[in-house]
Structure 1
Amino acid sequence: MEAWIPITIAAAFLQNLRSTLQKHLQGQLGTRGASFVRFGYGFPVALLYVFALHQFGGYRLPALNLSFVLRAVIGGLAQIYATIMLVHLFTLRNFAVGTAYSKTEPVQAAIFGLLILGEHLTFGAMIAIIVGVIGVMCISVARSPLTLGSLISSMMSRTALIGIASGAVFGISAVAYRSASLSLGGPNAVMQAAVTLACVTGFQTLFMLGWMLATDRSEIGRVVRSWKTSSLVGLAGVVGSAGWFTAMTLQQVAYVRALGQIELVFTFISSVVLFKEKINRLEVAGCLLIVAGILALLGWT
């Protein structure tokens, strides 16, 4: 089994864990504060990770270059604004549709990977990715009162366009991260990913901190007071991100993001086993499609 596969699965699991922890911050922090904690509390851990790899792993520190800095900044900003768009969807009436369209990220990442990095996918892999995306969209709209007719009519709505834009910007972010990591040229994928992660989270921490200082300084106090939960969010987030960055250094973004859809299966299992939530046929069908897409993807890579 190629290394990127278990790394991606672990990253998806940790992302699901981070999302679960962030739910405990609802009502305590605003949108900016909740976004900041994954960067601000994760940045020190990212620095320690780089230090440990260098000091105890014996990996040399790669020399940064202008190309790396530009791509890391583009990726960091894209991730922030894609998250903001995704959060904005929850204020709209048909947010489920928009969220579903945001899950087209693997397909859009494949397109950006082709345009920016010249990476090609096999026909079979592309079909597998599309099957997985359809499965995710089924789960996203399974609990909303949408008919086939209303879903078709909403495809060009503002909500759908915001969702598609969010998925596109997430795709740009992921491709930018892979490009930044590869531009370091060594010493290996793990160290390149670790340095990229530390630089990106450091930039995002400063950016979000400056934003809060300019718009709502009281939010900073709330972030500090929520340190117990926030630190766990930051830890889970940065360890998961280390997995994503490493996997995307080893493999094309479209493959990694497609396999990463297994996060929805983890969420689905948690809701059934831990929270005893009822499920419907569309959710079951969505999970089966995701699993089928993943198995097909792994068979073609």
Structure 2
Amino acid sequence: MSLWVLITLCAALFQTWRTALQQRLRGQLSLNGAAVVRYLYGVPFGLMILGTYWLVFGGSFGTPTLWFLALCAMAGLMQIFGTNLLISSFGPRGFAVGTAYSKTEAVQASIIAVVVLGEVLSLTSWAGIAISVGGVMYLTLAGRGLSPAEILRATTQPAALRGMSSGFCFALTAICIRTANAELPGEDVLLKALFAVVLTNAMQTVMQGGWLLWREPGQLTAVFRTWRDSAKVGALSAAGSSCWFMGFALAPVALVRAVGQVEILFTLLFSRFFLGERLKGKDVLGALILVAGVVLVLLGTR
């Protein structure tokens, strides 16, 4: 198995786990409060991951450029928007379905990467991306027993629009991250990726923490009061972001995001065993279609 595939699978697992914990925090914190904990508490853990990697493998990189800093800031802002949109989409349709809507990100990221970064994908990979997204949408809409008219109406509901907008923001985040990694001088792409994680999370803490201080000052106290749960979110966020950033450094954005759709499988497991939501037989069919698409994506990289 290629290193980037293993790292991407880990990223999907950590992200699902973190999102599930964030959903639980919604009962203790506001939308922005639940979102900011992943950055605030993620910075110390990100520094630990960066430091551990450097102690084991060594390496160095050059002075960050203004363009690199701007790309990290843009990636951080897009991730904030994407996270808030994703969390706000959970209420109307549930945890698993809210996440599924955001999985249109794979197609969005693929198209943007081809146009902006000039990435080239095989026909097999494109077919795999289409099939995997089809599996997600079956899981989300057709798998719920909706008629064609109801499916059309569902795609214009607030939950669907927020989920798809979330996917667009995450797609832009991935593009900015890959571009930033290439902009930072240095030979070790993984070391550069881990540095970008810490820097981006620090910027996000200032951006969303500042917003929270201005609009919801009382939530800052709550964020620190819930440190036991929030620290777990931060640790998983740092681990997940580190894996995503490293994945984007090693492979094309389109492929990483396509394989990362296995997150929906982890989401189904978490929604069933962690959040107590019931699953249907059609959920399994949708998951199998998704897996078949991911397999095609991987076959297309050979």
TM-score normalised by length of structure 1:
0.91
For 1:107, give the aligned amino acid.
V
CA distance in 2, matches of 1:85, 1:25: 16
Instruction: Provide closer, same or farther for how the CA distance between residues 262 and 205 of structure 1 changes in structure 2, counting only shifts above 3 A.
Output: same
| Cα drift, residue 112 of structure 1 | 1.0
Contact 1:100–1:137 (CA under 8 A) maintained in structure 2? yes
Question: Could you tell me which residue of structure 2 aligns to residue 131 of structure 1?
Answer: 131
1:50 deviates by: 2.4
Post-superposition Cα deviations, 1:267-288, rounded to whole Å, max 9, x if no partner, equal: 3234556777643232111110
Stretch moving more, 203-212 or 95-104: 95-104
**2:76, 2:204 within 8 Å by CA — same for their partners in 1?**
yes
Structure 1 counterpart of 2:257, which letter? R
After superposition, the Cα gap between the structure-2 partners of 1:165 and 1:20, relative to the gap in structure 1 and judged at 3 Å, is closer
Shift of 1:116: 1.5
Shift of the alpha carbon at 1:169? 1.7
* Distance in 2 between residues matched to 1:153 and 1:297, nearest whole Å: 30
Residues 129-157 of structure 1, C-alpha deviations (whole Å, 9 max, x = no match)? 11111112222336756322211244456
Count of paired positions: 301
Q: Is the 8 A contact 1:108 1:168 kept in 2?
A: yes
| 148-157 vs 77-86, which moves further | 148-157
Aligned to 1:107: 107
Identity %: 36
Structure 2: distance between partners of 1:262 and 1:4 = 14
Distance 1:161 1:274, change over 3 A: closer
Partner of 2:64: 64
Alpha carbons of structure 1 residues 84 and 40: separation in structure 2 relative to 1, 3 Å = same
Gaps of 5+ in 2: none
Alpha carbons 1:100, 1:141 under 8 Å: kept: no
CA–CA separation in structure 1 for the residues paired with 2:200 and 2:49: 14
CA–CA distance in structure 1, aligned partners of residues 171 and 274 of structure 2: 32
CA RMSD of aligned residues (A): 2.5
Determine the structure 2 residue equivalent to 1:10: 10
- Cα gap change, 1:85 to 1:56, in 2 (>3 Å): same
Are residues 86 and 22 of structure 1, via their aligned partners in 2, closer, same or farther at CA, if it must alter by over 3 Å?
closer
The secondary structure found in structure 2 opposite 1:260 is helix
Distance 2:64 2:247 in 1: 20
Change (3 A) 1:155 1:212: closer
Q: What SS does structure 1 have at the residue aligned with 2:57?
A: coil
The letter for the 2-side match of 1:261 is: Q
Q: Give the 5 Å matches for 1:147-166.
A: 147-156=147-156, 160-166=160-166
Taking the TM superposition and a 5 Å limit, the aligned residue runs for 1:158-177 are: 160-177=160-177
- How far residue 211 of structure 1 moved from its aligned partner, in angstroms, is 0.6
Structural mapping, 1:117-266, within 5 Å: 117-141=117-141, 146-156=146-156, 160-266=160-266
Q: Distance in 2 between matches of 1:107 and 1:248?
A: 16
Greater helix fraction, Structure 1 or Structure 2: 2
Q: Which residue of 1 aligns with 2:269?
A: 269
Query: Against the structure 1 CA distance between its residues 292 and 41, is the aligned structure 2 distance closer, same or farther, given a 3 Å change threshold?
Result: same
1:78 offset after TM fit, Å?
0.8
Any stretches of 5+ residues in structure 1 without a counterpart?
none
Which stretch shifts more, 24-33 or 234-243?
24-33
Secondary structure of the equivalent of 2:63?
coil
In 2, Cα distance between the equivalents of 1:132 and 1:70?
Answer: 33
**Worse overlay, 262-271 or 38-47:** 262-271
Q: Give the letter aligned to residue 199 of structure 1.
A: L
Q: Which residue of 1 aligns with 2:296?
A: 296
Deviation at 1:209, TM superposition (A): 1.1
**Following TM superposition, by how much is the alpha carbon of 1:92 offset from its aligned partner in structure 2, in angstroms?**
5.5
CA distance in 2, matches of 1:56, 1:94: 42
Per-residue CA deviations over 1:137-192 (Å, capped at 9, x if unaligned) read: 22233675632221124445665444333221211111111111121142212101
Looking at structure 2, the residues matched to 23 and 97 of structure 1 have their Cα atoms a distance apart, in angstroms, of 13
Given that residues 131 and 293 in structure 2 are in contact (C-alpha distance below 8 angstroms), is that contact kept between their aligned partners in structure 1? yes
Structure 1 counterpart SS, 2:26: coil
TM-score (norm 2): 0.90
Structure 1 residues 26-65: aligned runs within 5 Å: 26-65=26-65
Distance 1:179 1:115, change over 3 A: same
The verdict on how the C-alpha distance between 1:133 and 1:48 changes in structure 2, with shifts beyond 3 A counting, is same
